[in-house]
Structure 1
Amino acid sequence: MADTRWGRTVAVLRRRQEDRGPSGLSLLPWLLMGLGALSHLISGDAANPWIGGLGLLAFNSLYIAIVMRAFHERTREAPLTWGLLAALAALTFGLAAGYGREWLLLFPLLGLAVGAVVRRGRLLRRISLPLVVAVAAVTFWRDGWNSFGIVYGTFISVMVTATILALDETVRQLRATREELARTAVEKERLRFSRDLHDLLGHTLSVIVVKSEVVRRLAPHDLDAALAQVADIESVGRQALTEIREAVTGYREGSLTTELDRARDALSTAGIEPVVRRSGPLLQPQTEALLSWVVRESTTNAVRHSGASRCVIDLTGGADRVRLTVTDDGRGPADGVPGSGLRGLRERVAAAGGTLESGPAPQGGFRVAAELPTETPDPHEGEAPE
């Protein structure tokens, strides 16, 4: 248990460090390159050592201030940071031109500061190329061809620092985007599951309530018929448990034929005459599954709210499109507004490239009409795996 907790703590700390990314502290050890200039001052060979000492102190202070500000986007882009960088560049050229020798090693440090602040794009090219040319002019003047390594080191300091830090920034942005996509996928899956659960339980509970009312009416007069209805309630309950398990695992595919049979049974039990007409070619499983939800939700609403005496389910299919209409002669929802189940179905049908409309039928009653392409995408395609 202790090892597990320790491992989790280490993982959390590592994750926080990754989220923070590198800091300005990673560029501070390079200040050791300035030890040559310090050694030149201490040896007594430098003219005006006090000026050189103050200049070296100012260089170190400016360098530390710049690199510490360069790892925060807000401070990196601030005018103060650019002013400090300009002051560092002027001071570096002044010290290198005045003292030469070991002081030329301050140019690669200037390159590190420039790369940390200016990380990418045209601005990096506009600054780095003139900087390298100016460094080459000063170093050749002070040390001849022996200073080629200083020029190359300055160029590499600028480009490598800028590239590494820009790449790190891009990686952290991609990580944040991936986490956001994962959160979106979880929310999408949660919404899908809530819709499936609503449709499953709404229909099943409606059938159980209707059959229970039938049992209550039949029990005093016809015990055998009442027991038959009780057996149906048990069967519906067992089927509901199976469907919920399938919905939880995400593998439920509705059979339209089975759903039409259940719709007939539910409507008949509620005292509504079912009329089912079906024509057209065989459909893909994804299309059948989506139409099964439409049949289930429509018949559930008819049983619950319509007060209808007749319900017609008409399915017609062509080469490219398939159309399903469920029409009853009842009053529809009490307030005339479709429930959350139909609203959720409308979104799912639209996502599959179809349309779903609901409202009063032209000849009276309530109608739900869904139209889908014969080839619909898998509703679970693209969802994040567990």
Structure 2
Amino acid sequence: MTSTSARRLAIVLITVVSVAYTVIGLLYFAFSPTSGVVAAVAMLGVVTTHFLNVRAGLRGERPPLFPLTVVLQAVATFLPDPFLPNGWSGVAAPMLAGTVLVFLPLRWGGPLVGVMVGYMIVSVAYVNPAVALFYGVTVATTGGMIYALVRFMRVTAELEQARAELAEAAVLKERLRISRDLHDGLGRSLTAIALKGDLASRLMERDPVSARGEVSELVQVAREAAQDVRQVARGYRELSLAGEVHRAAALLESSGVGCQVHLADVTLPRRSEEVLAWAVREAVTNVLRHSRATTCTISTSQRAGALHLEVVNDGVPADGGNGQGSGLTGLAERAAQAGGSVEAAATGAGGFRLAMKVPT
């Protein structure tokens, strides 16, 4: 049920109850012109203040001049009792009980409604104990019904707002995923394209055969980049650690960086393997883009129920940074989602080390 439907239902039911008590009160005291006039004036005050209070309650707000409107409704409910025989407040108090429960904390509103029930029973018991009991029960049940309807409407509105916020959060999460995947996926490919294009241009004059080979590899990398973009758009990214390490080693070697690979023979959960593959891709991208490395080592080892990946190179970032860019931030998010962790820092030997740990 939408908040609009809940609001309409609550308004209709509360209006029906209010109109019913208004008609009953006016008919009950219509036998005497004097009592009828007093009852009409009193009922006007009750209905007006009750309308202002409940309308604000349905909106999740407090009425203007609060708590004066609640006090005025209480005055219009109990002040006419000495002038109207046989318990005028028995007709108006049920609506006041609803207002009290809506706007006061239950630890205060509940006891106040209990006092109202007791007053109804005591004030009318001398006339008719059965009627007195009926008045008391009516005050409690009608007040509870009004409170429940208002809360029902408010909870429905809050749930609808929460659903809208969740939908917005899901959209934001998808945007972040696309941004992260594009950065991680295309970063390596675009770096490789730039390197191979630069190398091909330098070889064009003195070694055309090698230049054509570099151009062919450049075209292949560009096709892989296009495939990456399509996979990101579909939300499907399945990487293997071994395949990514193989591509990384080939790219490093072709860029003049010696690469050594030492992989443990371990079967990994799908999520853990993909996160490690992303780590290798990000690390190699940073080696090629941001460092002056000549050697790089990619190794994995299993310890204490976790697989440890290390990518170490002998070149600190060319800009002197600490490696904590947006790519490593996204990598840390991926590791956390897989139940692992990632570290990246310069080594004491003047190199750089990226380490990741994921559960096996």
Normalising by structure 2, we get a TM-score of 0.86
Secondary structure at 1:337 match in 2: coil
Q: Which amino acid aligns with 1:71?
A: L
Conserved in 2, the CA contact under 8 Å of 1:109 and 1:157? yes
Q: Which range moves more in the overlay, 51-60 or 308-317? A: 51-60
Counterparts of 2:236 and 2:170, CA distance in 1: 17
Identity %: 28
Distance apart, 1:221 and its partner CA: 3.1
Instruction: Decide whether aligned partners of structure 1 residues 313 and 150 sit closer, same or farther in structure 2, where only a CA change above 3 A counts.
Output: same
| 1:61-100 correspondence to structure 2 within 5 Å | 61-75=48-62, 78-91=66-79, 93-94=81-82, 98-100=84-86
Instruction: Decide whether aligned partners of structure 1 residues 160 and 26 sit closer, same or farther in structure 2, where only a CA change above 3 A counts.
Output: closer
Q: Which range moves more in the overlay, 263-272 or 356-365? A: 356-365
Q: Give the one of 332, 349, 358 matched to 2:335.
A: 349
Instruction: Decide whether aligned partners of structure 1 residues 52 and 306 sit closer, same or farther in structure 2, where only a CA change above 3 A counts.
Output: closer
Instruction: Decide whether aligned partners of structure 1 residues 203 and 152 sit closer, same or farther in structure 2, where only a CA change above 3 A counts.
Output: same
- Cα shift readout 1:182-203 (whole Å, capped 9, x = no counterpart): 3223222222221110011110
- Pair 1:145-2:133 in alignment: no
Counterparts of 1:303 and 1:53, CA distance in 2: 88
Unaligned 5+ runs, structure 2:
none
CA-based RMSD of the aligned residues comes to 3.0
Aligned counterpart, 1:60: 47
Secondary structure at 1:275 match in 2: strand
Counterparts of 2:160 and 2:80, CA distance in 1: 38
- Cα shift readout 1:213-248 (whole Å, capped 9, x = no counterpart): 222122223333322222212221222222222222
Secondary structure at 1:314 match in 2: strand
Q: Which range moves more in the overlay, 129-138 or 345-354? A: 345-354
Conserved in 2, the CA contact under 8 Å of 1:139 and 1:147? yes
Conserved in 2, the CA contact under 8 Å of 1:298 and 1:326? yes
Instruction: Decide whether aligned partners of structure 1 residues 63 and 79 sit closer, same or farther in structure 2, where only a CA change above 3 A counts.
Output: closer
Counterparts of 1:121 and 1:240, CA distance in 2: 62
Q: Which amino acid aligns with 1:195?
A: R
- Pair 1:277-2:262 in alignment: yes
Counterparts of 1:331 and 1:307, CA distance in 2: 7
Counting matched residue pairs gives 357
Distance apart, 1:208 and its partner CA: 0.9
Distance apart, 1:142 and its partner CA: 3.6
- Cα shift readout 1:53-88 (whole Å, capped 9, x = no counterpart): 443443333333433443344425933244224323
- Cα shift readout 1:135-185 (whole Å, capped 9, x = no counterpart): 122333344425654443322211111122222222222332232233223
Distance apart, 1:40 and its partner CA: 5.5
Distance apart, 1:51 and its partner CA: 4.1
Secondary structure at 1:252 match in 2: coil
Q: Which amino acid aligns with 2:183?
A: H
Counterparts of 1:103 and 1:132, CA distance in 2: 11
Counterparts of 2:252 and 2:290, CA distance in 1: 12
Counterparts of 1:38 and 1:319, CA distance in 2: 82
Secondary structure at 1:61 match in 2: helix
Normalising by structure 1, we get a TM-score of 0.81
Q: Which amino acid aligns with 1:176?
A: Q
Distance apart, 1:117 and its partner CA: 3.7
Q: Which amino acid aligns with 2:230?
A: R
Distance apart, 1:295 and its partner CA: 0.8
